[in-house]
Amino acid sequence: MKDLKNKVAYITGGTKGIGFAVAQTLLDQGMKVAVSGRSQESVEKALKDFDNDAVLGVVSNVAKIADEKDAVAKIIDKWGQLDVVLANAGVGNFAPVDEMTDEQWHQMIDTNLSGAFHSLKASVEALKKSKGYYITLASLAGTNFFAKGAGYNASKFGVVGFTQAAMLDLRQYDIKVSTIMPGSVSTQFNNNEPGDKDAWKIQPEDIGELVLDLLKMNERTLPSKIEVRPTRPDKK
């Protein structure tokens, strides 16, 4: 995309963390951005923090296809187009597989994996019209398994496979599809409170820069799977 000004992006889970930082980066480029959260309260707080007329807040639980269809309809109704979708919403529950509950398992699969499908399914026709870009926020946990990560690994391995297959399906429509797989990022994920202790980690705005690089990449070139990690590990 040579000129991002007035292009329209939709970021799921965009009320905080990585999603919020990516939204801010795109707003700084003159884009119009819709962000979703699971509650009206989280959406209203984010809108106050953005303090920008080019932001639309929508309430959507990505685990529900009807919610995502409604969110995309509101975006199209407001701006008439949709050029970029970042499927960023995600949750993590970490426990040994024999202790993990059915509810924990389904929350991760329904949000992380089915949510990515719902976001694409709801927006794909608009992306065909705009020859747009669909990006999933996966994780290095989508290629590196670890103890107590059975459910999270399953969801993120699934997101990576889903995105790569979708890329092959949709390239015929000139839709670009990529997955970003970060390592440790300084966010509120897994009840973390970001602070000085997280200085070694990837910062959310770094992912914003990466998304921007993807959008500005020459149309003939597609980085379809991007692994990104802290330069140096934590010094314990």
Q: How confident is the model at residue 235 (pLDDT cuts 50, 70, 90)?
A: confident
Amino acid at 180: I
**CATH code of 47's domain:** 3.40.50.720
Q: What is the pLDDT of residue 198?
A: 84
**Is a pLDDT exceeding 90 seen at residue 13?**
yes
- Mean pLDDT over 13-17 rounds to 95
Catalytic site positions: 152
Look at residue 194 in the predicted model and tell me its pLDDT: 72
| In-domain check, residue 233 | no
H-run or E-run covering 152: helix 150-170
**Where would I find the H helices in 16-113?**
17-28, 40-50, 65-79, 102-108
Q: Is residue 202 part of a domain?
A: yes
pLDDT of residue 236: 64
Q: How far apart are the first and last CA of the chain?
A: 42
What is the model's pLDDT at position 176?
98
Task: For 80-91, write each residue's pLDDT tens digit.
Answer: 999 999 999 999
pTM of the model: 0.95
Burial 100-139 (b: 16+ CB within 10 A, else e): beeebbebbbbbbbbbbbbbbebbbebbeebebbbbbbbb
Does residue 3 sit within a domain? no
Q: How far apart are CA 183 and CA 228, in angstroms?
A: 6
Residue 188 located in a structural domain: yes
Do 209 and 234 contact (CB within 8 A), yes or no? no
Residue pLDDT, tens place only, 192-211:
777 778 888 989 999 999 99
Angle 71-74-80 (CA atoms, 0-180°, nearest 5)? Answer: 125
Summarize pLDDT for 31-51 with one digit per residue, the tens.
999 999 999 999 999 999 998
What is the reported pLDDT for 21? 96
Q: Does 236 fall in a domain?
A: no
- CB contact at 8 A, 49 and 42: no
Asked if the structure places residue 234 within a domain, the reply is no
Q: How many folded domains does the chain comprise?
A: 1
Question: Are 172 and 214 within 8 A, CB to CB?
Answer: no
Per residue in 52-77, pLDDT (tens digit) is 999 999 999 999 999 999 999 999 99
Query: What type of residue is 20?
Result: F
Closest by alpha carbon to 155, among 91, 66, 60?
91
pLDDT by residue (tens digit) across 140-167? 999 999 999 999 999 999 999 999 999 9
Q: Is residue 133 part of a domain?
A: yes
Beta strand 176-182 pairing with 32-37: unpaired
Does a structural domain hold residue 105? yes
Place of tokens 């990529």: 178
- Position 195 scores a pLDDT of 78
Quote the CA–CA distance of 123 and 5 in Å, as a whole number: 20
Domain range for 72 is 8-228
